[in-house]
């Protein structure tokens, strides 16, 4: 435990120096999972079918005033996908879809963050699912209220870019290629906008 703490602190210090962010700012930044949501909507034969991921986490080193230096990384537990329907969930775990038994996590790692003004930011980064990495740009709007920063963003990914729904499922007239991802996060420890 102590060794872990020392290592964490050391890593945090390195990050802080690298990002030129005061140690206290980056060390306290946390995601509040209970108030956060990562949801997605895909279309089956024209029917919107939505789901949520129940388990995900983020590591942040983000100062709204120094967006250029921000670093954000996400991990999403693909096995935690909740579609509200056992059959579809079982299907989603299969190798043709998420292959989540083999590659259980999706990750997002920011490569550049741009401040657009008015609480709006653009997070560009790499999204990796099933071991396939693709660039994505996520527009995010931040609002702050009594110490909690709410970040809301959405983007659309093309499932076939990640080989999600491979083989017989690659017919996009049955399951559309576009999948909307809607992210709502509650964060603490973010410096004022």
Partner 1 sequence: MITASFAVGLYMVSLTMSPSRIKLYNWHKWAGMTILTLAALRLYWRLTHRAPSLSASMPRWQAFAAQATHIALYVLFFAVPLTGWMYSSAAGFPVVWFGLIPLPDLVGKDRELAELLKPFHWMTAYALASLVVLHILAVVKHLVMDDDNLLGRMLPSMNGEKS
Using rule CB under 8 A, residue 84 touches partner 1: yes
Rounded to 5°, the CA angle 12-37-78 comes to: 80
Among 24, 28, 48, 120, binds partner 1 (CB under 8 A): 48
87 vs 118, which CB is nearer to partner 1? 87
Q: Find the shortest distance in angstroms from Cβ 173 to partner 1.
A: 9
Using rule CB under 8 A, residue 50 touches partner 1: yes
**DSSP states of 77-112 as a string?**
EGGGEE-S-HHHHHHHTSTTTT-TTTS-EEEEEEEE
Angstrom distance (rounded) from CA 117 to CA 185: 19
Q: Which stretch binds partner 1 (CB under 8 A): 14-22, 23-31, 83-91, 134-142?
A: 83-91
Q: How many residues at the interface with partner 1, by CB under 8 A? A: 19
Angstrom distance (rounded) from CA 65 to CA 105: 31
The DSSP 8-state label assigned to residue 103 in this structure reads S
Phi, psi (degrees; rounded to nearest 5) at 100: -70, -15
The DSSP 8-state label assigned to residue 190 in this structure reads P
Residue 101, SS3 per DSSP: coil
Using rule CB under 8 A, residue 101 touches partner 1: no
Site string for partner 1, 7-46 (x = CB under 8 A): -------------------------------------xxx
Using rule CB under 8 A, residue 83 touches partner 1: yes
Angstrom distance (rounded) from CA 129 to CA 133: 7
Using rule CB under 8 A, residue 172 touches partner 1: no
> Which spans of this chain sit near partner 1 (rule: CB under 8 A)?
44-50, 83-88, 91, 168-169, 171, 174-175
């Amino acid at each position: 435990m102590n060794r872990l703490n020392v290592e964490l602190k050391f890593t945090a210090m390195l990050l802080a120096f690298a990002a030129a962010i005061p140690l206290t700012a980056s060390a306290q930044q946390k995601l509040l999972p209970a108030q956060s949501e990562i949801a997605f909507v895909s279309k089956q034969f024209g029917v919107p079918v939505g789901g949520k991921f129940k388990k995900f986490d983020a590591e942040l080193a983000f100062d709204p005033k120094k967006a250029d230096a921000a670093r954000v990384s996400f991990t999403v537990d693909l096995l935690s996908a909740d579609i509200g329907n056992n059959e579809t969930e079982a299907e989603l775990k299969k190798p043709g879809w998420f292959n989540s038994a083999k590659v259980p996590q999706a990750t997002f790692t920011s490569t550049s963050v741009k401040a657009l003004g008015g609480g709006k930011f653009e997070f560009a980064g790499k999204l990796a699912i099933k071991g396939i990495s693709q660039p994505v740009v996520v527009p995010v709007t931040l609002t702050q209220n009594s110490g909690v920063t709410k970040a809301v963003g959405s983007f659309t990914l093309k499932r076939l870019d990640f080989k999600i729904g491979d083989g017989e499922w690659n017919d996009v007239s049955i399951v559309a290629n576009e999948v909307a991802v809607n992210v709502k996060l509650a964060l603490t420890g973010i410096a004022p906008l």
